[in-house]
Amino acid sequence: MVWYLVGGRRGAAVACAVLVSVAAAGCAQTVPGTPVAQVGSVEIAPPAVSRSDRQHDPAIPAELALPPERFPARYPAVSLPAHAVAQAGPDLTGVPAGARVDPPGCLPPEQDYGPAGTAMVVGTDEKSRATLTVEVVVGAAPLVELAAHLAECDAVQATHRGVTATVRTQREADPPAPVDGIGTLALARTVDSGSDDAQVTRRLQTRVAQSGDIRILVTYMVFDRAVSDPEGLGAVFRDAVTYALTE
């Protein structure tokens, strides 16, 4: 079970549980490998196609996301279905879909949360409710645009259905690039929501890498005063970027 806070509320609508069943009737198996055409005794392989060359294939986001079995044992993981990706996205930005924001120009950058644009895999520490989310975005704007948005919108008030959340975002030192020739950035975010007697604080740390229009984000999220796991975040970031861009 993966828990996501919905709209920053507590009480009547504190959280949405995304339960993904891994039992499925009838599974098709794909045989790995590259098709090879034969002419007589000479094998002619098709030209190698890099992942960046195939980045506009609608199936790419899910194909590039780190598989659940590659997550640390502490964070049993699941691949989110499309409808859950759309629900989870605003929890990572801190701004619910349809919210009114102040400053007015500080809505999160537009993103396609459908299967052609975004895939997510989420690992959860059941004891602390901490989550590690690997997010792969295809068709992303240049990383410099994200950096500019973060600089302009470091403090945002987001109001949705009468509830206001305060979202504060701070740039951190850019992490080392796990793969040569890519851009990276890091950010820390807090989301305070709810009333004084029932306030909830989410703390998020995100590492971002981008090659072309393929963006990989790895976010560690904890509630209130739970202890963070920078080692786990760093390890999953390195593995997720390496898997998406080179494997």
The pLDDT confidence band at residue 48, using thresholds 50, 70 and 90, is: very low
Give the pLDDT of residue 154.
Answer: 97
Q: What is the pLDDT of residues 95-138, one digit of tens each?
A: 999 999 999 999 999 999 999 999 999 999 999 899 999 999 99
How far apart CA 26 and CA 57 sit, in angstroms, is: 25
Cβ-based burial of 201 (10 A; exposed 0-12, middle 13-18, buried ≥19): middle
For the beta carbon of residue 77, count every other beta carbon within 10 angstroms. Answer: 23
Partners of 189 in the beta sheet? 169, 204
**Which pLDDT tens digit goes with each residue over 57-95?**
444 899 999 999 999 999 999 999 999 999 999 999 999
User: Do the Cβ atoms of 120 and 85 come closer than 8 Å?
Assistant: yes
Lowest-pLDDT range of 59-63, 180-184, 194-198, 232-236: 194-198
The count of other CB atoms within 10 Å of the CB of residue 2 is 21
Say if CB 163 and CB 198 are below 8 A apart. Answer: no
Instruction: Identify the pLDDT of residue 224.
Output: 84
Identify the three-state secondary structure at position 36. Answer: coil
Q: What is the mean pLDDT of the chain?
A: 81
